[in-house]
Amino acid sequence: MKLFYSPGACSLACHILLHEAGAKHDAVPVALKDGAQFKPDFLAINPKSKVPALARDDGSVLTEMPAISYWIAATYPQAGLMPKDAEGVTRALEWLNWMSGTVHNGGFTRIARAERFVGDPAHAAAAQEKAKADTAKYIDQMEERMQGRQYALGADYSFADPMLYVLCRWAPRAGKSLDALPALAAFNARMEARPAVQATLKAEGLT
């Protein structure tokens, strides 16, 4: 099994989950800044030109962070990543869809690639500032949701938590410091104490 990733990208969430599950895998970096995602070799793996992509042992390829996260939790039940009831699974998926579709793609991606979202390049700077404001609002919503919780679903760790951790790492890009976000700061520290997170950060060369 191979995970195609970029250090610190949303693929970090899936990479953490593979370590949590104890799943045997190879981690293959994709140099997004060099445009490797648009090269024929990677397009043959994922025509969407995005990470993560998980090439499974049966030869199939799974894409999209929420889908890969769910698959890992479902495939390695002994790791305790899957909530115990339908409500818990539903809430974990709710978190992941919001974090992926809104906070990541509707927020941080617009900050980093504002020019993709405007017709006139002259409007990119204003679009980026609007994206920062929107993303800061999303982070405040995350902080509010995490009040009184150890993890995204409450007391229990789940397959939703690694992506929440990734967004905590990205918060400064929206002008938000975890120093001013006590619930998220506590969650972030809790995540970084986990051996699987430490192993993944080391594997990706992150601090």
As a whole number of Å, the CA-based R_g of the chain is 17
Q: Are the CB atoms for 178 and 185 separated by under 8 Å? A: yes
Domain enclosing residue 163, as ranges:
86-194
Q: What is the pLDDT along the chain (207 residues), one digit of tens a residue?
A: 999 999 999 999 999 999 999 999 999 999 999 999 999 999 999 999 999 999 999 999 999 999 999 999 999 999 999 999 999 999 999 999 999 999 999 999 999 999 989 889 899 999 999 999 999 999 999 999 999 999 999 999 999 999 999 999 999 999 999 999 999 999 999 999 999 999 999 999 998
Q: Are residues 66 and 92 in the same domain?
A: no
The pLDDT score that the predictor gives to residue 119 is: 87
The sheet with strand 2-5 has its strands ordered as 26-29, 2-5, 53-55, 61-63
> What CATH code is carried by the domain that includes residue 12?
3.40.30.10
> What CATH code is carried by the domain that includes residue 146?
1.20.1050.10
Q: Are residues 161 and 94 in the same domain?
A: yes
The total number of structural domains in the chain stands at 2
Q: Are residues 96 and 174 in the same domain?
A: yes
Q: Are residues 137 and 49 in the same domain?
A: no
Q: Are residues 142 and 186 in the same domain?
A: yes
